[in-house]
């Protein structure tokens, strides 16, 4: 028995044993499960695949325009924020579907708020893209 499980047992908290009976398999197994979750989102969520397409295009355009390391980092960071929002949105939606599969105004509102988080992240990424790519494209097309 691991030290953490013993400590949890002493405190009367058997959360790991109750909720995550297979969680003690180590780092590699945890990473495998996490990767499975990411792939599941891309396989089953159309918007995640659309975001992935735009992410690849933005990164390739950044490399072709020879953006600075800082500019490319800003683009990558914006991409990561959108993917995080999409993954959390999917997890929230799936969790709510477990709670109630029927029409429920409160659950709809929570799903709308979660989707709103993705929208905010995506708009932020577009603004970063404009700030980074517009000057580079202007320079490339009409530069000195």
List pLDDT tens digits, range 4-61. Answer: 545 545 555 555 555 666 656 678 888 898 999 999 999 999 999 999 999 999 999 9
List pLDDT tens digits, range 47-98. Answer: 999 999 999 999 999 999 999 999 999 999 999 999 999 999 999 999 999 9
List pLDDT tens digits, range 86-143. Answer: 999 999 999 999 999 899 999 999 999 999 999 999 999 999 999 999 999 998 888 7
DSSP character at residue 12: T
Domains annotated for the chain, with CATH where assigned, are 1-44 (no CATH), 46-144 (1.10.287.3610)
Neighbours of 17 (CB within 10 A): 14
Global pTM?
A: 0.78
Contacts of residues 94-102 at CB distance under 8 Å and 24 or more positions apart, as own/partner, are: none
């Amino acid at each position: 028995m691991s030290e953490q499980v013993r400590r949890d047992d002493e405190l009367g908290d058997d959360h790991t044993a109750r909720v995550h009976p297979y969680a003690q398999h180590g780092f590699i197994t945890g990473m495998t499960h996490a990767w499975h979750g990411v792939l599941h989102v891309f396989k089953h969520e159309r918007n995640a695949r659309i975001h992935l397409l735009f992410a690849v295009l933005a990164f390739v355009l950044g490399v072709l325009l020879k953006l600075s390391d800082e500019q490319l980092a800003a683009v990558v960071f914006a991409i990561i924020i959108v993917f995080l929002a999409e993954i959390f949105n999917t997890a929230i939606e799936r969790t709510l579907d477990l709670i109630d599969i029927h029409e429920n105004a409160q659950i709809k509102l929570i799903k709308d708020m979660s989707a709103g988080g993705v929208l905010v992240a995506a708009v932020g990424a577009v603004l970063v893209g404009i700030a980074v790519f517009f000057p580079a494209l202007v320079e490339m097309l009409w530069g000195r």
